[in-house]
Amino acid sequence: MPQNHSRLLSIAATLALTGVLTACAQETPTATPTLATQVSTSPSPAKAALDVPTCPELRNAAVRGLIDPYYAFGDEGAPLTEGMYSDKDGLVLALQQPCASGDLGSDIGAVTVGAIMNSVTGTTGRFWNVMLCTKATPRAKCMVHIAMNDRDPIESISFTGNKMTLVYLTRPDAAGSAVASVRRTAIYAAEGTVLKEQSHTDVPYTP
């Protein structure tokens, strides 16, 4: 009988120890990831959009400049309506398709650059111009900075860093014809508040 009693105590002790070990295993907390093991899923901050007028907004901009015919409109500028302006004397201003937004550096800042053509009804002259535009109320304000030669159409405008690339058609200075024969890619940068050509390359062009 003592042996049976001893065996029963031994079995009971074994069962009790097994229960304690099982409970400990169930209560052991899982490891919490530390800062070193956590992977950030936060997206990179997006680049802030330029606070400039959109290209469609230029269709109703006010255009001024220090050269004719824009100088005559004073600080108020010529008001475009759906990209056009005309007066009783036959002057016509027409917004062209090339347009781009960019930052020209600390002196000029962020702008939208557009192309506008001026002509006079009944004449053959067609003059493309480059204008820099900023936001204003009730309409964007544009200032003509670059005047092209007669019938030098602007094909495209783009930005790389703080420099602007202008692609347009032209002809050699000594050409006897008004027909464009050169496609020029010119790089412009701000020198103070003036936009100046830094370099250009030419390739032949056949209409």
Strands (E), 66-105: 78-79, 84-86, 91-103
Identify the CA nearest to 69 among candidates 120, 112, 122, 133.
120
Spatial contact of 161 and 189, defined as CB atoms under 8 Å apart:
no
Distance between CA 144 and CA 57 in Å, rounded? 16
- pTM for the structure as a whole: 0.76
State whether residue 92 is helix, strand or coil.
Answer: strand
pLDDT tens, 73-116? Answer: 999 999 999 999 999 999 999 999 999 999 999 999 999 999 99
- Tokens encoding 103: 């930052």
What is the domain partition of the chain in residue ranges? Answer: 1-29, 56-204
State whether residue 78 is helix, strand or coil.
Answer: strand
pLDDT tens, 115-153? Answer: 999 999 999 999 999 999 999 999 999 999 999 999 999
